[in-house]
Chains A and B, each alone.
Chain A
């Protein structure tokens, strides 16, 4: 195990150096060139902490690194090599996961603090302590995102399917809230759909800490439900990774990705929610969008099956999901929809008008 860990670290040394150099360079450029303070009316005020740059880098690394670390099981020859080695699959997963976390967090950490030094050298108008608190907060948030992406990606049997799963799961949890926001306009005041995108916790935290660092932050309401959901999905993803590690089938490498965590679930759910969000109130647009959703569904099933000959169950599921979505859209539009408020009548004060 120790030897394997050392080997894994050595194997990742070159990408680690490359990622660190690129991340540091990007953050240094942004740190040195961004508009960070305003001196309006002679008062120096911080306007941009630039923490969004390392945050975007962390988001990218938490997507790219799981792809690098877990694509070995998606090619027969590579699966043959790694699964024939004398190491249990759970241990292999653990080593790859830890090495992956290092591969994501070391470049991020280096870039973050390089940028911090550059910013501090430029101006000192920030609440500096919050650079540290954001950094500390971003680590668990990044780790949760890393876990979710690792789990989702490793359910696929090819790299392209894995990327499609990543994209699909990024937005899936937001879809029910998108439906509610479509028909109940006031609902978005309480629950925002985009808070359920897998990358949202990092993004929201960056925006909030940007405010704290610049000294004008307000607590954001989404935190109360967004972070518990992100934590729960992240922990479940890590548990799922280990749960499935022993069950991974080497013979699935390169085959059709028919995991229940993949197309099988994603496609009907997306067709259902897209149809449900397509309001029947929108006149001819409803019919055009309905046709597009059906065509999109068919295309996605062709991508899933890698053949134009779809199975009967696929076509049935596609139509069922579409029909259920339309039914829910009708329910949304005619039963639960909030009436659109009449235009405001502003009493005209004659004196003012004059």
Chain B
């Protein structure tokens, strides 16, 4: 289990994380979401032991991560733009990671074939997606107990995304690996993540189980006999839009209660539409004043 307790981090005058409290259960695939600059990458760098926290604690199985060689051997951090020296090849990176992790060559070979990675070619000649595929293969081959992925799906084509998600799920099932993924591809996160945390203003604004969060909100499309207006709907909405007589809204609460409140408006039809994670995220950030 990973516990973040009142975690704080500032860069000079700028406070990036101001007391993050979060618990990530073992074996979960956890999505870290937030707008740009919310502190997702900083949180991952803290979890990886790259940065030292200004305050609070990061506990992995009850032990501090920073400068803890034993615990860090179980953690693999794949940043947004992973480093490679000029002239480095996949083979040299295998040498590097083999020196620090129990590198599984068979797993790497499997992904090498799937992603068609060229071992001896200089990485600088790879496309952005190919580089990402290579580092994903390396990350999966290190068989970590905790995988930290920053902008995990960035640059991957749909097929590579699928392979990556399959690999992640396999690692999760085989090793009980906990994966913490920051991404703006919320549809991808919805596919594989069980839990999520929304970072905002240096704190966790919302966290929990993705399906649970989605079940708490409802999206309705309602057609009224007259022009639909916001005032017609006597409850708080996360989002509301009306075009003529048709209104679409997302609201948090009990489904039956909403239907009861809509009934007096004599709707011509009421339809419930499934809400996806991206819509929920947009509603949340809108509610926080980021989108007009």
Contacts and interface: CB of A to CB of B under 8 A. Distances in A.
The 9 closest A-B pairs by CB, nearest first: A86-B72, A7-B99, A77-B83, A86-B73, A84-B77, A84-B48, A81-B83, A83-B50, A3-B99
8 contacts: A77-B79, A77-B81, A80-B48, A80-B77, A80-B83, A84-B48, A85-B72, A250-B51
Contact of A79 (B50, B67, B96, B98): B50
A4 B52 CA distance: 23
Contacts of A4: 99-100
Nearest to B42: A251
Describe A's contact surface by its main secondary structure. helix
Interface string B67-80: 10110110101010
Interface in A86-111: 86-89, 91
Contact of B100 (A85, A89, A249, A250): A85
Interface of A: 3-4, 6-7, 10-11, 75, 77-81, 83-89, 91, 246, 249-251
B96 A7 contact: yes
A31 to B, nearest CB: 33
B77 A89 contact: no
Contacts of B49: 83-84
A79 B99 CA distance: 18
Interface in B4-54: 11, 45, 48-52
A270 B190 CA distance: 60
Contact of A86 (B69, B81, B95, B96): B69
A75 B82 CA distance: 12
Interface string B138-172: 00000000000000000000000000000000000
Contact of A251 (B51, B83, B95): B51
A87 to B, nearest CB: 6
Given A7-B96, A87-B69, A88-B67, A78 B83 contact: yes
Contact of B50 (A7, A86, A87, A250): A250
A3 B51 CA distance: 24
Contacts of B82: 77, 80-81
Interface-centre pick from A75, A86, A89 (highest chain B CB count, 10 A): A86
